[in-house]
A and B are shown apart, each in its own frame.
Chain A
Amino acid sequence: MDKNELIAKVNACLAEEFEVEESIITPEAPIKQTLQLDSLSLVDMVALIENEFGVKIPTADLGKILTFQALYDYLAERA
């Protein structure tokens, strides 16, 4: 999967799971606010990423992934 495909898949998965318009997911947008995640639903994002991309985001890394761009980069290195 090239990076554009990865970005498209990430956006589609997150939009569907968290029931937001895909168009509001932009690289620099903050993940938590855009997807309206609280401490509980953040857990669902980790589970979704693991199920869809086979990448486990440890709690220590989670705090550093603040934007969608950061998430794309994190997954591109590991997926």
Chain B
Amino acid sequence: MRRVVITGMGIWSCLGTSLDEVRDSLYTGKSGIILDPVRKEMGFRSGLTAKVELPDLKKELSRSQRAYMPEQAKYAYCATVEALRNAKLDQDYLDKYDVGLLYGNDSSADPTVRAVDTMREKHDTMLCGSGAIFQSMNSTVTMNLGTIFHLRGINLTISGACASGAHAIGLGALLIQTGLQDLIVCGGAQEVNPFSIGSFDGISAFSTREDAPEKASRPFDRDRDGLVPGGGAATVIIEEYEHAVKRGAPIIAEVLGYGFSANGEHISSPNVEGPSKSLRMAIERAGVTIDEIGYINAHATSTHVGDTNEAKAIYNVIGDHRIEVTSTKSQTGHEMWMAGASEIIYSMLMMKNDFIAANINFENPDEDSAKLLIPAKRIEKHFDTFMSNSFGFGGTNATLIVRNL
């Protein structure tokens, strides 16, 4: 089987807009969560959100290129520029070889809503402008990145709800293992505007701890009261091992295993069996023992049932092995379509810098999280293998196992 390695990463998140900035935020336990007064004016139950800077790309991209990009495509562009640079991939290389693109994205509400508003008000579709169609399609990120960077390999958007980014990396690894591609730009992007999550707020899924935004996202904590929406974009360059060696790429880690499953039950409430199956499949395909796993980045979003069932699933699989488990969503909120990719990067930054970021706001365990080793404070630790979980609406599950190189 061909080996799949990671040769570059880039990120645009509420914890920073470069790998160095994000590493420092993880290390210090910074929260990226704020209270947005605009959401309260719009009638949101919870105005809590991650604060993500909108990049100004006027100098980098032409007016036409920018006209087709919604906010999440701009985040993805910035993350991808950083990832390509770190992977030592320039435009000459991208022009010469077939490079693939698999990116997680599962909505583009803001441009859709704006176009509909224009149609209703003006009764003239032309007035929506030329960018509306390209901005509002689910595949907006891959169509934009593919044309900007001239990518000519596989080009697909992966829409797997909150597991989109993880599935993008996992499916990319499969395409490389089977010899269909040598190099794929993978990742996940998430819009942060109120339109995208207004109806999500409407089903009472969000924390309403508005008096203390930084305390609101508290995965695994007994007193958690819901998730906090976040966003941005994360790009991971994956590549066949020999291919990376041959071009002198920086080989930083190996994607060892990808597990997946679906619950096939409730549309929003996860179960325990599905995630357990995904974890077991990833471990089996990675060919590692549980003792080799030094850190687990949990999906845990700070919802009651989600965190409880994930804690049960992890315990089902690892039993009494003492492996640190944290959810970086305690700092970032739930980055949804982006989360599976960004959490690989967060875990990589910890692995490369010998620490495990605190599961901030973890003050009291509940019955299930008490069975896991969840550090409420940062710990200094060297580890060489981690597992990352991502689960989504509809019961889609993805697990990735990555080893340090």
A residues bordering B, Cβ < 8 Å?
A: 17-19, 38, 40-44, 46-47, 50-51, 56, 59
Contacts and interface: CB of A to CB of B under 8 A. Distances in A.
A54 to B, nearest CB: 11
B67 interface: yes
A32 to B, nearest CB: 13
Nearest to B118: A47
Contacts of A43: 126, 129-130
Nearest to B64: A41
Interface in B111-136: 122, 124, 126-131
B64 A40 contact: yes
A58 to B, nearest CB: 9
Nearest to A62: B126
Chain A contact surface mostly: helix
B239 to A, nearest CB: 34
Given A18-B63, A19-B63, A38-B64, A44 B129 contact: yes
Contacts of B126: 43, 46-47, 59
A41 B66 CA distance: 12
Contacts of B129: 43-44, 47
Q: Bin chain B's interface residue count.
A: 10 to 19
A52 B124 CA distance: 16
B143 to A, nearest CB: 13
Interface in B41-60: 58
Interface of B: 58, 63-64, 67, 122, 124, 126-131
A56 B126 CA distance: 10
A9 B122 CA distance: 22
Contacts of B63: 17-19, 41
A20 to B, nearest CB: 9
Interface centre among A38, A42, A44, A56 (most CB of B within 10 A): A44
A44 B124 CA distance: 13
A38 B129 CA distance: 13
Contacts of A18: 63
Nearest to A43: B130
Contacts of B58: 19
A38 B122 CA distance: 24
A38 B65 CA distance: 12
Nearest to B131: A44
B63 to A, nearest CB: 5
A13 B14 CA distance: 35
Given A18-B63, A19-B63, A41 B130 contact: yes
Contact of B130 (A19, A44, A51, A59): A44
Interface centre among B128, B129, B131 (most CB of A within 10 A): B129
Contact of A41 (B67, B122, B124, B128): B67
A60 to B, nearest CB: 13
Nearest to A58: B126
A44 B128 contact: no
Interface centre among B126, B127, B128 (most CB of A within 10 A): B126
A13 to B, nearest CB: 14
